[in-house]
Amino acid sequence: MITSSDGAAGLTKSGASLFDAALAALQLCDPAEKVGAVARLRRAWLAGEVSLRESAPPISLPTPGRPARPPLVPPREVPRRGLGTPEGRAALVHAVAHIEFNAINLALDAVYRFRDLPRDYYDDWLRVADEEARHFSMLAARLTSLGRAYGDLPAHNGLWEMAVKTADDWLLRMALVPRVLEARGLDVTPGMIERLRRVGDVETVAALEVILREEVGHVAVGSRWYAQACAQRGLEPEATFRALIREYAPGQVMGMLHREARLAAGFSAAELDALEALADARRAADE
């Protein structure tokens, strides 16, 4: 793993491969270094200073660059506390910050891992990486104001585990990471905002409102490229998506769906009806 930004910065010199530069940023362990490297990489890409020149084939990354803390535990062991105290609000902000840090790595990996795609694909995922980095920075600053820092509390590794499962197929990645795992954020964030508003935490509410608005666009990027992957293979997108959920993520669809946000993010009404039926069946089975 790269523990300094020097390697990532050097790879953004004129003529460097986008894939090499994305890998260097992906492997950085220090969050602040990674945030800075992402911003430099996107600027270099937009300026035409890095190219789609082929590099070595993508390597397996069972673990991306991440700091030694937070400790990773099963999801059930991540602390959950009421939002009426600073400690409870810090626990929530820490959990969301961890999701956003993972989202930086996921977007960089989408750039690095999948080759021979249109330039628009790399435009989209570099923008997503840059926005996820900004989201993480906002939440890290909010944690500081709450007397905590990223890494102080345990977190789980579910997002990256799905990245590993989908590393060999960009259709699977586009379907299952943005359209399943990240889309779940569209459903739950409005409830978090409302609960935080009730306890007067206007600073965290402001951050989450920005994140929710921009995450709709991130899920839409996944929807766009999932549809293109299906068209490339002659697959019907909605039936294929339902089949992929049944095979790879049967327990990931739950609770109430934020239909307005999901429609804006590229889901159809028919898809949402099918997902709601799946969630209802899961709730009935659990009762």
Residue that the structure tokens 């996820």 belong to: 132
Position 67 in a domain? no
Residue with tokens 């978090």: 192
pLDDT score, position 75:
81
DSSP letter assigned to residue 101: H
pLDDT at 12: 54
Mind giving me the DSSP string for 166-185?
TTT-HHHHHHHIIIIIIHHH
CB 146 within 8 A of CB 86: yes
Q: What is the pLDDT of residues 193-251, one digit of tens each?
A: 999 999 999 999 999 999 999 999 999 999 999 999 999 999 999 999 999 998 988 77
203: in domain: yes
Question: What does the pLDDT average to over 97-124?
Answer: 97
∠ CA 112-118-124, nearest 5°, is 65
Both 169 and 272 in a single domain? yes
- Confidence at residue 3, expressed as pLDDT on a 0 to 100 scale: 45
- The answer on 88 and 29 residing in a single domain is no
How many whole angstroms separate alpha carbon 26 and alpha carbon 254?
A: 31
Q: How far apart are CA 174 and CA 181, in angstroms?
A: 11
Enclosing domain of residue 29: 1-57
Averaged confidence pLDDT in the chain: 91
83 shares its domain with 52: no
Chain segment 53-106, per-residue pLDDT in tens: 877 899 999 999 999 999 989 888 887 778 888 899 999 999 999 999 999 999
DSSP 50: E
Q: Is residue 64 part of a domain?
A: no
Looking at the structure, tell me whether residues 122 and 253 fall in a common domain.
yes
Q: How many percent of the chain have pLDDT more than 90? A: 78
pLDDT at 252: 81
